Amino acid sequence: MSGSGLWQQLFTRQSKTRKPAPAPLPDQIEAIRQRAIGGHHLDQVLWGKVLLNSAHVPPDHAQALIWFTMAANAGYGPAHNMLGRCHHFGWGCEKNLQQAAHHYDAAARLGDEWGRYNLGILTMRGLGMQQDLKKALGLFTAAAHNGHAKSMNLLARFLEEGWETPQDKAAALVWYQKSAEGGDYRGCHNYATALADTGQVEDALHWWRQALPDATSDILLAMERSLTALGPASDPALYAALQERLQKLPGQGEPAAGAA
């Protein structure tokens, strides 16, 4: 679709859904919106993300999709990645894994490491395409060498398990460490697990503390198993904080706010 057509969609959508003026946006968010209107591709993507999920405006996934499309049409890699996310999860459009893969691939070709990683996930799992572990390894390897922390963790997993590459646990440990230092909670957990297995308990506890704030349910449960095996007394504060997060998981204690 042409840029003028996308602007017309935005105008028409806003005209049909006109409501009383909302509260003013915070200055920083309003500045992003204004730069997006001015044609800045990064800010078009940022404004689209605000429209997907923000406390500042009601969610409007269809309009977010339009902003991502405008930036993607200009050849901006991160916008293609976000279009991939929209098609992957059905945000503002029908869920379509083939279209998601198409946009992730476009993002990767334009040098976007999140696009490369997301394409690797689909390829590894055989979603929207035939499973191809060798291709997935290539994608994760390229993104890892370009500094993408989540890809570092998956490269480490391939090396640890010997998937489509000679098994190399020493190299896996190096990449888990890089992933952890890069801030990926899965990398933090996997590095902590490897350290604990070699008796480096204090270092392991440090990395589990780093993993805890952002960890998803699968990692929280894996952490609980590991800490239970070590004994809660190894770090009572960490164990208590972990239990508090576990109680907020859906189906345990009170449901987590906003859980889907």
Q: Which domain holds residue 43?
A: 30-131
Q: Count CB neighbours of 153 within 10 A.
A: 26
Q: Count CB neighbours of 225 within 10 A.
A: 10
Residue 229, CB-side half-sphere exposure with 13 Å CA sphere: 12
Give the integer Cα–Cα distance in Å for 10 and 30.
17
In a domain, 200, yes or no: no
In a domain, 153, yes or no: no
* Tens of pLDDT, residue by residue, the chain (260 residues): 556 667 666 655 555 555 556 679 999 999 999 999 999 999 999 999 999 999 999 999 999 999 999 999 999 999 999 999 999 999 999 999 999 999 999 999 999 999 999 999 999 999 999 999 999 999 999 999 999 999 999 999 999 999 999 999 999 999 999 999 999 999 999 999 999 999 999 999 999 999 999 999 999 999 999 999 999 999 999 999 999 999 998 865 433 322 22
Write the CATH number for 57.
1.25.40.10
pLDDT at 32: 98
In a domain, 157, yes or no: no
Query: How many structural domains comprise the chain?
Result: 1
In a domain, 16, yes or no: no
In a domain, 8, yes or no: no
pLDDT, tens digit (0-9, with 9 covering 90-100), for 157-182: 999 999 999 999 999 999 999 999 99
3-state secondary structure of 60: coil
Catalogue the long-range contacts made by 235-244 (C-beta closer than 8 Å, 24 or more residues apart): 235/205, 235/208, 235/209, 238/205, 238/208, 238/209, 238/212, 241/212, 242/212
In a domain, 44, yes or no: yes
* DSSP letter (8 states) at residue 252: S
Does the CA dihedral 247-220-131-109 come out positive or negative? positive
Torsion angles phi and psi, residue 26, rounded to 5: -55, 150
In a domain, 35, yes or no: yes
In a domain, 94, yes or no: yes
